[in-house]
A and B are shown apart, each in its own frame.
Chain A
Amino acid sequence: AQSVAQPEDQVNVAEGNPLTVKCTYSVSGNPYLFWYVQYPNRGLQFLLKYITGDNLVKGSYGFEAEFNKSQTSFHLKKPSALVSDSALYFCAVRDLGNNDMRFGAGTRLTVKP
């Protein structure tokens, strides 16, 4: 079965600095990769996804992610962090033909003024 690892429980950055939230995955076939964000006491909100095509995917709120097949990674990035970006971020993966989406354990991003 597919799986996702988010190696960092917590990421702290200063406002205005670039941020990276890491994600690696394991699938038997071609991956469909997703990033979701969760604000306190809310459900998950979709940020971006990679299905095929350009390895650099742009999403909501200025976020982007880079698909790297050789490293089986899909790291989330933003050039300049905002305090309002502070939230819990989840990476998820699905395998082609499989309805089961697997989520990582989540990374808590804190952006300090």
Chain B
Amino acid sequence: DAGITQSPRYKITETGRQVTLMCHQTWSHSYMFWYRQDLGHGLRLIYYSAAADITDKGEVPDGYVVSRSKTENFPLTLESATRSQTSVYFCASSDLAGGQETQYFGPGTRLLVL
């Protein structure tokens, strides 16, 4: 089906391990985003990408790495997971620049770091 998907939907890992969260969209949207959702904070932007091979930091980028070799994929890697990275992670995509575009969100990945 067309849309935006995330995998895995649930992940449990241990402190210090590397974890990669996957995001895939079928709309060929140019922009993609990674957010984390924590109680009391709403959604906070981690990284975003304006196009393939173009990425930029958001509000809370520390401890995360992204890449975008293809337009449709935007993986998020936690190189050495910490307990503070326990959260729900949402990927989103949108088409045009300039702020007018609507962002479309994936279903989320619930990550627990022990």
- What is the interface residue range for chain A against chain B? 20 to 34
Query: Within the complex, what minimum Cβ distance (angstroms) separates B66 from chain A?
Result: 14
Say whether A45 faces chain B, with CB atoms less than 8 Å apart: yes
Query: Judging by beta carbons under 8 Å apart, are A49 and B102 in contact?
Result: yes
Query: Judging by beta carbons under 8 Å apart, are A44 and B90 in contact?
Result: yes
Chain A residue at smallest Cβ distance from B56: A99
The proximity string for B residues 49-92 relative to A, scoring 1 for CB distances below 8 Å and 0 otherwise, is 01000001011000000000000000000000000000000101
The residues of A that contact B48 with a CB separation of less than 8 Å are 99-100
Query: Judging by beta carbons under 8 Å apart, are A97 and B99 in contact?
Result: yes
Say whether A63 faces chain B, with CB atoms less than 8 Å apart: no
Interface residues contributed by chain B, number (CB under 8 Å): 27
Give the residues from 68 to 110 in chain A that come closer than 8 angstroms, CB to CB, to chain B.
90, 92, 94-106
Chain A residue at smallest Cβ distance from B35: A103
The residues of B that contact A32 with a CB separation of less than 8 Å are 99-100
Q: A43-B90, A43-B108 are in contact. Are A101 and B40 (CB under 8 A)?
A: no
Query: Judging by beta carbons under 8 Å apart, are B90 and A103 in contact?
Result: no
The proximity string for B residues 6-19 relative to A, scoring 1 for CB distances below 8 Å and 0 otherwise, is 00000000000000
Say whether A51 faces chain B, with CB atoms less than 8 Å apart: yes
Query: Judging by beta carbons under 8 Å apart, are B41 and A105 in contact?
Result: yes
Q: A99-B31, A100-B59, A101-B45 are in contact. Are A46 and B40 (CB under 8 A)?
A: no
- Can you pick out 21 interface pairs between chain A and chain B where the beta carbons lie within 8 Å of each other? A6-B42, A32-B99, A32-B100, A34-B102, A36-B105, A43-B105, A43-B107, A45-B105, A49-B102, A51-B100, A90-B42, A90-B43, A95-B99, A96-B99, A97-B99, A99-B50, A99-B99, A100-B45, A103-B44, A105-B41, A105-B42
Q: Which 7 A-B pairs have the closest CB atoms?
A: A43-B105, A103-B43, A103-B42, A32-B99, A105-B42, A94-B99, A44-B105
